[in-house]
Structure 1
Amino acid sequence: MMLQAEHFLTMTNQLGEGSFWNADQQKLYWLDIKQKRFFRMDTRTKQYETFDVGAQIGVMAPRSGGGQIMATDEGLACWDDRTKELTIVANPLQGKANRRFNDGNIDIKGRFWAGSMCDPPDTCPTPQCALYRLDPDVSLHVMDTGLGMPNGLVWSPDNRTMYLTDSPQQVIYAYDFDPETGAIEHRRPFVRTHGEPGVPDGLTIDSEGFLWSVRYNGWKIIRYDPSGKIEREVSVPVPHPTSCTFGGKDMRDLYITTAWNELNEEQRHQYPQSGDLFYLHTDIKGVARRSFSG
């Protein structure tokens, strides 16, 4: 089954990314990594706010006490919505050239997970990036190493399996996950994606336990069933979709971010909607992002 995403809002984000739905606020959030800002939108009116942070944000999530938790090119940090200030809480990448944090998520116990990447990506000749977990007490743990570029990260509905995208390795991994301790083990390929155009990027999961994997430079999103079989695809009319998330009142609206960051001038003219938001109303309910408990 091939579905077609619709244009939702003109944004021209250089590197739109990190979309998530805040269920308490009923608002859509997303990032422009290269422009060092994030956005918050009421999808019913399409009215949005822009927040300039001053750091490249790879992933962010709400904090239970207010504000946001972020993984940035300056480290893991808290953003205060009132003062508009960023406070670094840990920076395991300090002193590592051409490294920044990329994508991540919040687990069932409110722990913040984020992976590192090389920027530019070709500055890592071998897989040498890592996955980190920041606990509510602000203790930091290295959870896995030897990754090419940790990207989209989600958990199964029963919270017993964690899925992690490694973009340059063209694989989505599955791990056994202990929801009580936050431990992971038994990394194995869930799907290898070398036969598909582009590379796997952002990832979300729906209430049925199916994964929606965005194909950067692949013009589409692929929905995998829990066995790893392709169930349907969503065509996006620009080459670089980056992330997707469910939102809306009934959590059945899929919002998709895109980018123009790696397009040349001719390609930008050819695909002028690159960097905009796209949308698909589905018959499937998604899952909102959890809050960091720290």
Structure 2
Amino acid sequence: MSIEIVLDAHATIGESATWAADEQALYWIDVKAPALYRFDPATGENRGWMLTGDVGGFALTRDGGVVVALRHGLHRLDLQSGELVRLTEPTFDPALFRYNEGACDAAGRFWIGVMFDPLNGKPPAQKGALHSFTLGGGLLAVDDCSDLHNGMAWSADGRTFYLSHSYPRQVFAYGYDSDTGSLSDRRLFATVEKEAGIPDGAAVDVEGGYWCALHGGGRVRRYHPDGTIDRDIELPVSQPTMCAFGGKGLTTLYVTSACDGLSEAQRMREPHAGALMRLDVGTSGIPRTCHVGDRPPVARKGVCHD
């Protein structure tokens, strides 16, 4: 299978590939060299906006801006001026946590996970809550708690929400109520074997297959809708971070990657670490909302218990 290096970006942690169908463009971020990027496949232009702190996810707005989830709170980024305006304070201690992974449901609720990523020292790991945000309802923490959320995606009918807890290498499937944004009936969808890496960002195809980037395992994996493994596609990088369908007909799978934590020897072996890649996987993705809406988030607030 041909794997094209679209941008040899050498991103520290390239993440959150998101296809904007109305623009025919791909947005993505670098978490630790914090920036938002917009890649135009037609021209090859990759425009960037530098940010002021670790960025864990984003959602576009209908008025041409972007909501970015920075370590020190959610902000609105003006794409014309580059100005950042704070929308919310974080619901956690930013010295211990940052946001990680974000995706919008069909109604425009922006779901945002967390990662335990202390700025100083090595304190004992703690868990943080999953979040839901809308422009009209603000930010709420809900009661799925993890030290590293990832892998958010919805089934085509919107009734199943997928979410990974990366460190225990577990992918969960929730019942999802698209009217209220509430989660129910969590079940274990898949467990990733240790040698294959940890489950990172994900996408769903038109056949209900769940595509997952396996960070540390150097591959993207497709799961059947019942959670059994269909196939692995080996990549020229060990740390893929996110996959997203894009292009006309959503027939192209884009994959971001990271070079964070690699030794000099490893970087020599992986000259494309941190690249943005694309490949034809023989299927197409389902349309996915990338704009945050005005509807209230889920009504109930959760509390994490270790």
TM-score by length of 2: 0.90
CA contact (8 A) 2:218 2:236 kept: yes
In 2, the alpha carbon distance for the partners of 1:255 and 1:160 equals: 25
In 1, the alpha carbon distance for the partners of 2:118 and 2:18 equals: 25
Cα deviation, residue 207, structure 1: 2.1
Give the letter for the 1:29 counterpart.
Y
Report Cα offsets for 1:207-264 as digits up to 9, x if no partner: 2221101000101000011100111221111111111111112210111111111101
In the alignment, what sits opposite 1:109?
107
In 2, the alpha carbon distance for the partners of 1:96 and 1:33 equals: 15
Cα deviation, residue 56, structure 1: 1.8
CA contact (8 A) 1:128 1:145 kept: no
From 24, 45, 48, the equivalent of 1:47 is 45
Classify the secondary structure of the residue corresponding to 1:250: helix
In 1, the alpha carbon distance for the partners of 2:279 and 2:126 equals: 34
In 2, the alpha carbon distance for the partners of 1:96 and 1:255 equals: 30
CA contact (8 A) 1:42 1:48 kept: yes
In 2, the alpha carbon distance for the partners of 1:289 and 1:54 equals: 28
In the alignment, what sits opposite 2:183?
184
How many residues end up aligned between the 2 structures?
Answer: 292
Cα deviation, residue 97, structure 1: 2.6
Cα deviation, residue 10, structure 1: 1.3
In 2, the alpha carbon distance for the partners of 1:288 and 1:120 equals: 35
In the alignment, what sits opposite 1:20?
18
In 1, the alpha carbon distance for the partners of 2:92 and 2:209 equals: 36
In the alignment, what sits opposite 2:7?
9
TM-score by length of 1: 0.93
* 1:193 equivalenced with 2:199 (yes/no): no
CA contact (8 A) 1:4 1:234 kept: no
* 1:157-172 superposed matches below 5 A: 157-172=156-171
In the alignment, what sits opposite 2:300?
none
* 1:36-115 superposed matches below 5 A: 36-115=34-113
Cα deviation, residue 4, structure 1: 5.4
CA contact (8 A) 2:71 2:94 kept: no
CA contact (8 A) 1:127 1:146 kept: no
CA contact (8 A) 2:116 2:125 kept: no
Output the aligned Cα RMSD.
1.9
In 2, the alpha carbon distance for the partners of 1:103 and 1:36 equals: 14
Cα deviation, residue 288, structure 1: 4.2
Judge which range, 146-155 or 25-34, deviates more.
146-155
Change over 3 Å in CA distance of 1:207–1:136 after alignment to 2: farther
Cα deviation, residue 145, structure 1: 3.6
Cα deviation, residue 282, structure 1: 2.9
Gaps of 5+ in 1: none
Cα deviation, residue 139, structure 1: 2.5
In 2, the alpha carbon distance for the partners of 1:212 and 1:196 equals: 18
Give the letter for the 2:130 counterpart.
L
In 2, the alpha carbon distance for the partners of 1:293 and 1:36 equals: 24
Residue identity over aligned pairs, in percent, reads 35
Change over 3 Å in CA distance of 1:124–1:173 after alignment to 2: farther
Give the letter for the 1:91 counterpart.
E
Judge which range, 101-110 or 112-121, deviates more.
112-121
Change over 3 Å in CA distance of 1:162–1:88 after alignment to 2: same
In 1, the alpha carbon distance for the partners of 2:78 and 2:110 equals: 17
Deviating above 6 A after TM superposition, structure 1's stretches of 4 or more consecutive aligned residues are none
